[in-house]
Amino acid sequence: MLRKITIALASVGLIAGLAACGSSEASDDPDAPLKVAVNPVPHGDILKYVKDNLAAKAGLKLDIVTFDDYQQPNTALKEKQVTANYFQHVPFMEEYEKKSGAKLTFVAPVHLEPLGVYSSKVKSLQAIPQNATVAVPNDPANEGRSLKLLADNGLLTLKPGAPTSATEKDIATNPKHLKFKPLKAAQLPRSLDDVDAAVINGNYALEANLSPAKDALAAEKAEGNPYANGIVTLPENADDPRVKKLVQLLRGPEVRKYVQDKYKGSVLMAS
């Protein structure tokens, strides 16, 4: 009997897992719901606001599929389990294209989650000690972005012409002899007690109740920033009227006000 119950529970878990991953193909029918893959915060929150408050009036049906990491939303898009995703910036998308061979289309930017430097051990960048360990995201686009943030704030310099996917090899000077610990982006908030500082993506900072506006020792600025997150789809769906309608709603005044009121500078709307 116990074995039968175990098998039954495993079957239920498998079915639930497939449903959560959006295993069925998305529909190209213009009257069907638009399936969009997101990370929970802030992308899922913003899209839920659109679904609950704006979509019906605009004649748009939305189906939100949530993933907790940075890999599955593009896999789901590539496999046509969703028609679009909303979680990434252009440099990340380009790195994914290089690795996977997939062709994606960045339709429009929506918002910026400022990358920030956080620490549970020091109160300022200047107080970061010699030979400190700094955790950084381990994907190429965001690792390079982290190094640029540290360089912009005087903790190191990068070689001239360093790419957006810069690594430690692209560091020209490192006066404090910082040591870098690449981790999956989702793990970075949990690493704070184990390192001297961590450079954390805005969405994972928010999930960990860290405010880029209040808690970061340094954070990115929105102006001229290439890392705005936006709507991405396959090239053949770039002109899907549902995708265009979603972009229009996400970049509209109602969403701008929602983001400003809810995140209070921890999420910034793209220009």
pLDDT for the residue numbered 268: 92
For the record, the structure tokens of 185 come out as: 């982006």
Give me the domains of the chain, ranges plus CATH numbers.
Answer: 27-114+226-269 (3.40.190.10), 116-219 (3.40.190.10)
What pLDDT is attached to residue 136? 98
Residue 18: the pLDDT is: 36
Q: Is a pLDDT exceeding 50 seen at residue 12? A: no
pLDDT of 6 > 60? The answer is no
pLDDT at 25: 78
In the prediction, which pLDDT does 8 show? 39
Residue 188 has pLDDT above 60, yes or no: yes
Q: How far is Cα 245 from Cα 100, in angstroms, rounded to an integer?
A: 29
The share of the chain scoring above pLDDT 90, in percent, equals 81
Q: Once rounded to an integer, what is the mean pLDDT over residues 93-112? A: 96
As a whole number, mean pLDDT of residues 125-137 equals 97
* Environment class of 227 (CB within 10 Å of its CB; exposed 0-12, middle 13-18, buried 19+): buried
Q: Return the pLDDT at 110.
A: 97
Q: Which of 63-72, 95-104, 220-229 has the lowest mean pLDDT?
A: 220-229
- Give the CB-side neighbour count of residue 38, counting CA atoms within 13 A: 20
What string of DSSP letters covers 114-169?
--EEE-SS-SSGGGPPTT-EEEEESSHHHHHHHHHHHHHTTS-EEPTT--TT--GG
Q: Name the band, by pLDDT with cuts 50, 70 and 90, for residue 65.
A: very high
Amino acid 27: pLDDT: 83
Question: Can you say whether the dihedral through the CA atoms of 199, 184, 14, 39 is positive or negative?
Answer: positive
Tokens for 179, please give them: 């040591």
Cα separations in angstroms, 14 against 20, 75, 107, 156: 10, 19, 34, 47
Average pLDDT of the segment spanning 178-199: 97
pLDDT at residue 177 is higher than 70: yes
Q: What is the pLDDT of residue 216?
A: 97
Please provide the average confidence, as pLDDT, over all residues in the chain: 90
Q: Quote the CA–CA distance of 197 and 86 in Å, as a whole number.
A: 28
pLDDT, one tens digit per residue, over 25-58 is 788 787 899 999 999 999 999 999 999 999 999 9
Question: In this predicted structure, what is the pLDDT of residue 225?
Answer: 87
Higher pLDDT, 213 or 240: 240
Dist CA 49 CA 38 (whole Å): 13
Strand pairing report for 34-38 and 62-66? parallel
What is the helix, strand, coil percentage profile of the chain, to 5? Answer: 40, 20, 40
Cβ density class 124-161: b for 16+ within 10 Å, e for less: ebeebeeebbbbbbebbbbbbbbbbbbbeeebbebeee
- Tell me how far apart the 2 most distant CA atoms of the chain are, in Å: 68
Residue 174 pLDDT: 98
